[in-house]
Amino acid sequence: MSQSNDILQVLLTEEQLKAKCAEMGAQITKDYQGKNLLLVTVLKGAVVYLADLMRCIDLPCAIDFMVVSSYGSGVKTSGVVKIVKDLDQDLSGKDILIVEDILDSGMTLSYLKGLLQGRNPASIRIATLLDKPSRRKVDLQADYVGYEVPDEFVVGYGLDYDEKYRNLPYVGILKPEVYTK
């Protein structure tokens, strides 16, 4: 059965996502000239965005990954951010750009930013493809934002519900009956 049957509405098409990566990549390329850029990506959701964004950054840059989880198999944050896998390197002197798929309650990123800040990087910023400001629980803003999304649970382009839908090429609103039944 096609996963598209569970989608209420397509919010962002493949073409829009591609254009946004090009736009954000060009801005990051401008801003990080002469810097020691390290893209820190939060698995698993942000992996699709990273793969597209990094190819639009025309600069030498390294990548590294963390696994952090607070949603488990639900649609609401547990509020407890768990580090499942940490970075493999020292951050001193590096210009860190945290790459995320979505900034929702902000619990994940505020925890992560604080943690990495304590490791003495040269700078630290956040790039998020999606921003859902209506759900924010902590005062946090990203430095680079792709699109603002409404207060709906969205999936696709890396974002999951219960580990499904990550491979949809677009971002769509999940039908509520999928997670209320």
79-92 CB burial, b ≥16 within 10 A, e <16: eebeeeeebeeebe
d(CA 78, CA 124): 26
Q: Which is nearer to Mg ion, 95 or 160 (CB)?
A: 160
- Partner whose footprint covers residue 178, from ligand PRP, ligand HPA, Mg ion, none (CB < 5 to 8 Å by kind): none
Name the phi and psi angles at 117, rounded to 5: -55, -40
CB of 71 to ligand PRP, least distance (A): 3
Q: What does the DSSP 8-state code read for residue 55?
A: T
- Please tell me whether residue 41 adopts helix, strand or coil conformation: strand
Q: Which positions from 88 through 117 interact with ligand PRP, judged by CB under 6 A? A: 100-109
Q: Confirm whether 104 is a catalytic residue.
A: yes
CB of 50 to ligand PRP, least distance (A): 11
d(CA 111, CA 38): 19
131 touching ligand PRP, by CB under 6 A: no
127 touching ligand PRP, by CB under 6 A: no
Name the phi and psi angles at 39, rounded to 5: -85, 120
160 touching ligand PRP, by CB under 6 A: yes
71 touching ligand PRP, by CB under 6 A: yes
Catalytic residue (one of 6, 52, 104, 131): 104
Reading the block at residue 173, the tokens are 């609103």
Q: Which is nearer to Mg ion, 94 or 166 (CB)?
A: 166
41 touching ligand PRP, by CB under 6 A: no
Site size for ligand PRP (CB under 6 A): 18
d(CA 7, CA 13): 13
44 touching ligand PRP, by CB under 6 A: yes
Q: Which of 170, 174, 167 is nearest to 47 (CA)?
A: 167
CB of 122 to ligand PRP, least distance (A): 24
CB of 138 to ligand PRP, least distance (A): 9
**Catalytic residue set:** 104
